């Protein structure tokens, strides 16, 4: 495994991030524990989760699975850089949206941290991430709450997820004016070959302010994982977002060109999509969300995969990015 600094921090993290969203809804506890053990064995030290994972009446379940894994000991917690998120509604009855059980008020941040620590069976969270921007709560209030948690030793760093570039700038400018917290140190955004809008402003803002970029959905819902090849060879039809996308003939032709190019180079599509992200400026490491140990092994192989210039050029031709702003929408 290869490691890098997380943004401008001194924290060293693996170039792949273990995403845990499937733990509970699709992968049972025993298999989830096996995947986490496998991740450590492969050198992955950066684990990502969120308080709402498990979803619906089972929200919080994913954090609980991670907590029971930590409880097994063996220095599991010490080896992991743990990131979780706050924003989604965690009202206890599972249906009613109670006031102050979501978003980023100081009250909810305090409540959510304590609940996550309990489920995770740990006394601190390495990176506490805002799962979405809160249009009502001022950053002065948010940073005040974060300062308290840092002083209490309950969190070490703060990060964002799904933030536009201007919110990254606003958050860190306010943090700098206030003093205390160092501001955001990471941004988790939707970014992959088929979805490159983050290159316009989100990634440049993250680079300007020293945030590590953590792309989620690196295979774009399976679309970049050899979906057409799997249909042809194994009769496994695409489902969900990938199936919807392939219903568009132009998208299907684009994905076919992508798979044909990689077949020419003898490279698996999913590994190529991850390896491409690892070549992108500002990217710390993409989030991989394996449902099985075999999927984890395939993702790990991408870290050492060197993509030739000819292939990188071909990928840009198939999936042209928008280019940086303002040139992407101006002269």
End-to-end Cα spacing for the chain: 42
Contact indicator for 31, 23 with CB cutoff of 8 Å:
no
Helical H segments across the chain, by residue range: 29-41, 61-70, 76-79, 106-120, 139-152, 165-178, 202-208, 227-234, 240-246, 249-265, 269-278, 293-301, 309-318
Residue 123 is encoded by which pair of tokens?
């006394």
- Dihedral of alpha carbons 160, 282, 79, 42, sign: positive
Segments making up each domain of the chain, as ranges: 3-221+269-308
pLDDT for res 238? 72
Contact indicator for 298, 249 with CB cutoff of 8 Å:
no
Tokens 């060879």 sit on residue: 233
Q: State the catalytic residue, choosing from 3, 46, 53, 124.
A: 53
Contact indicator for 102, 90 with CB cutoff of 8 Å:
yes
For domain 3-221+269-308, the CATH architecture is Alpha-Beta Barrel (3.20)
Query: What span, in angstroms and rounded, lies between the C-alpha atoms of 309 and 18?
Result: 28
Give rounded-to-5 percent helix, strand, coil for the chain.
Answer: 45, 15, 40
Picking from 74, 81, 73, 85, the residue whose alpha carbon sits closest to that of residue 3 is 81
Residue 111 is encoded by which pair of tokens?
């409540």
Residue 194 is encoded by which pair of tokens?
């088929």
Contacts of 122 (CB under 8 A, 6+ apart): 67, 70, 77, 82
Picking from 172, 159, 199, the residue whose alpha carbon sits closest to that of residue 283 is 199
Query: What span, in angstroms and rounded, lies between the C-alpha atoms of 249 and 154?
Result: 50
**Would residue 53 show up in a list of annotated catalytic residues for this protein?**
yes
What averages of pLDDT result for each successive group of 10 residues across the chain (331 residues)?
A: 98 98 97 98 98 95 98 98 97 72 96 98 98 98 98 98 98 95 96 98 98 98 94 76 88 97 97 98 97 92 96 98 92 88
Picking from 219, 295, 215, the residue whose alpha carbon sits closest to that of residue 255 is 219
Exposure b/e, 162-183, CB count within 10 A at least 16 = b: bbbbebbbbbbebbeeeeebbb
Count, residues in the chain? 331
Tokens 């684009």 sit on residue: 254
Tokens 């983050």 sit on residue: 198
């Amino acid at each position: 495994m290869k490691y890098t600094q997380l943004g401008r921090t001194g924290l060293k993290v693996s170039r792949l991030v273990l995403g845990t969203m499937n733990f509970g809804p699709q992968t049972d506890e025993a298999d989830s524990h096996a995947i986490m053990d496998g991740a450590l064995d492969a050198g992955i030290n950066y684990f990502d989760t969120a308080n709402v994972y498990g979803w619906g009446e089972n929200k919080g379940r994913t954090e609980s699975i991670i907590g029971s894994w930590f409880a097994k000991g063996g220095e599991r917690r010490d080896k992991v850089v743990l990131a979780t998120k706050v924003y989604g509604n965690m009202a206890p009855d599972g249906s009613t949206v109670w006031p102050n059980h979501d978003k980023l008020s100081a009250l909810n941040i305090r409540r959510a941290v304590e609940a996550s620590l309990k489920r995770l069976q740990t006394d601190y969270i390495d990176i506490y991430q805002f799962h979405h921007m809160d249009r009502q709560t001022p950053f002065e209030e948010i940073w005040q709450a974060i300062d308290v948690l840092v002083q209490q030793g309950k969190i070490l760093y703060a990060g964002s997820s799904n933030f536009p570039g201007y919110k990254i700038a606003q958050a860190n400018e306010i943090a700098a004016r206030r003093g205390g917290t160092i501001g955001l140190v990471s941004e988790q955004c939707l970014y992959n070959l088929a979805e490159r809008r983050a290159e316009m402003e989100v990634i440049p803002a993250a680079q300007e302010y020293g945030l590590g970029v953590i792309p989620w959905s690196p295979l774009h819902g399976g679309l970049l994982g050899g979906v057409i090849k799997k249909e042809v060879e194994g009769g496994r039809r695409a489902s969900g977002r990938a199936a919807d996308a392939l219903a568009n003939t132009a998208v299907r032709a684009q994905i076919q060109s992508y798979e044909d190019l990689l077949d020419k180079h003898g490279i698996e599509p999913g590994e190529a999509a991850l390896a491409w992200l690892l070549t992108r400026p500002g990217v710390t490491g993409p989030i991989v969300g394996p449902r099985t140990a075999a999927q984890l092994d395939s993702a790990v192989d991408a870290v050492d995969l060197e993509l030739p210039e000819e292939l990188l050029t071909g990928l840009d031709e198939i999936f042209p990015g928008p280019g940086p702003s303002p040139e992407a929408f101006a002269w």
